[in-house]
Structure 1
């Protein structure tokens, strides 16, 4: 049965409002902003039409709230060091979960990463990991900085690719921050009208480092006649398989621990031939259920795209500002399957 989606142009989850000058490299104060309304009419795999209510982003943004601390001591949690990843250590997600803070340092509207100075970011991530362990995680929880390295743009830019690359010096700054604090760095890629091959290849010097991993966002993988933030993108299994093969080769050549490869998904059309995505040694492949809203729709989408279509590992993204009734760590861990990656935006 064909799955049908009706997605209004201005109600894409994580849509872009662009402030760019149309350049190809991002500079502070000169780039795209992500905000979103999630208003989709979705036909489920069971052919029942589900109307997803539009969730308005408030004009006056409230202070960011976190999951409640529960039994964990906040001071101790903020001081705990993550266990470093050993070189040649094999699968990461078989041994631990990841909790990540997502965004870009140039703009707070793209996610929590951009709202925090580096010292606070490290402390908050350590605390988040400790809260998941206190909530009963069966594996140690590894903090990770989730950095949007390539940002889709509404404007073409000088090369017509509708994307802007973050300067290598800025990525290197956050790579050092992660390494010095025993954390992972996940580089997130929104290709625009460029290609997965071009954008991932541009990040190779970072991906050869043992603590650096990768995420691909199909929402912003556009056809030649599409615009980021206007139409919903899609990523083929061939693109994903090319990427995982590249990562596996990096792991084998450099005797590294597995590379984590995250795929964002909140509609079936984002990964149209998902059944053809391959797993391979050296890569921990994760589908993260993206998109925000109330608990009901988030849990249904998690069931559809992670439980029902599990490839290898699963994850879920929580939105501090836009989610209605933010899931607590114990709620997240109780999902089936229990997520391997928890992303906070």
Structure 2
């Protein structure tokens, strides 16, 4: 279930120079948040009903999560299911987002949205682009951090690509030797946009000093709580609706001290099952590391290529995924 892919080293120089050339002040392409997008009140009765529905008949007593805070007004989950295309525009191998030209990619994503709406007519779907804006690298690079920050022009491109679908945008980081504390503030000018959300990948957080791709990394609850607090402050500062925060996971040590993860009414937390393989392997991983260690909401990743590497494996259908307990509310395609 190991999915690591590196960008070519030739991209490092061009992307690093482009990133350095951009100042962190708001650019002409960065629009100010529209506070009118944030409704005045939350339909708490409907929220509670939909949240309980996601438990999907779970008998463990873990779902729905008890004592989870109600979100602020304008929350996306669980009123909608998010279906996202994942990847990086510099690489066709890192995910479907970079595999096709923008128009073709959007048509394929629209088709998946329809598939999910047909499988669960009671839950409308919001499309999303989940863009890896910091990629882990085997080479240490000039900063010694074993990561490559995408130029802001590429983030702008992802946001423009999302507009014809009115899609959400997720900015995802693979920190390498860096930290979320160092990388997250560099993205604030984008995260203050109402439609931009955030994700982190523990697989490539190399706290022990290993080269990315040689072993699986880890984040602790302290790292996760830092992100939640940071995003919550942004919501308060710019009068934003709640942010969705996705954490990828397919092993136990990828997320340590999960019971210490703190929830916030400004942030909707998703633990995303990120492993690839056959249906039984994926369902087992989901049960052990996502459903078995509950936080708030759950996600599930589907791989167009890796899930079908071994015959007779197949990529799980929406109906199969919706049989999981709890039912994932965030779906990602790579």
CA distance in 2: counterparts of 1:335 and 1:116, whole angstroms: 30
How many corresponding residue pairs? 277
- C-alpha change, 1:192 and 1:25, in structure 2 (3 Å) is farther
Shift of 1:22: 8.3
> Is residue 258 of structure 1 aligned with residue 242 of structure 2?
yes
Residue 300 of structure 1 corresponds to: 284
Q: What does residue range 323-338 of structure 1 map to in structure 2 within 5 Å?
A: 323=307, 324-338=313-327
Using structure 2 for the length normalisation, give the TM-score: 0.79
SS in 2 for 1:338: coil
SS of residue matched to 1:94: coil
* Aligned with 1:199 (options 173, 180, 183): 183
Q: Which runs of 5+ in 1 are unaligned?
A: 1-11, 28-84
Q: Deviations over 1:86-116 (max 9, x none)?
A: 3354321121110001011111100111111
Q: 2:83 aligns with which of 99, 104, 125?
A: 99
Asked if 1:151 corresponds to 2:151, the answer is no
After superposition, residues 181-220 of structure 1 pair within 5 angstroms as 181-220=165-204
Give the Cα–Cα distance (whole angstroms) in 1 for the partners of residues 267 and 302 of structure 2: 24
CA distance in 1 between partners of 2:320 and 2:208 (Å): 41
Q: How does 1:59-74 map to 2 (within 5 A)?
A: none
Residues in 2 aligned to 1:180 and 1:208: alpha-carbon distance in whole angstroms: 20
Comparing 214-223 with 304-313, which one deviates more in the overlay? 304-313
Measure the CA separation in 2 of the matches of 1:232 and 1:107: 21
Runs of 4+ in 1 over 2 A off after TM superposition: 16-19, 21-27, 85-90
Give the Cα separation in 1 of the matches to 2:231 and 2:164: 23
Q: Could you tell me whether the CA contact under 8 Å between 1:179 and 1:211 is conserved in 2?
A: no
TM-superposed CA distance for 1:219, in Å, is 0.4
SS in structure 2 opposite 1:161?
coil
Root mean square deviation, CA, Å: 1.7
Does the 8 A contact of 2:228 with 2:245 survive in 1?
Answer: yes
Quote how far apart the aligned CAs of 1:21 are: 4.3
- In 1, Cα distance between equivalents of 2:218 and 2:165: 35
TM-score relative to the length of structure 1: 0.77
SS at structure 1 position matched to 2:253: helix
Alignment match, 2:274: 290
Tell me the distance in 1 between the aligned counterparts of 2:13 and 2:295.
34
1:284-312 Cα shifts (integer Å, max 9, x gaps)? 10000111111111001111122211200
The 5-angstrom pairing of residues 31-42 of structure 1 reads none
The answer to whether structure 1 residue 222 and structure 2 residue 206 are counterparts is: yes
1:13 aligns with one of 2, 16, 27:
2
What corresponds to 2:37 in structure 1? 86
SS of equivalent to 1:154: coil
Task: Tell me, yes or no, if the aligned pair for 2:249 and 2:274 is still in contact at 8 Å.
Answer: yes
Task: Answer whether contact 1:146 1:187 (CA < 8 A) is retained.
Answer: yes
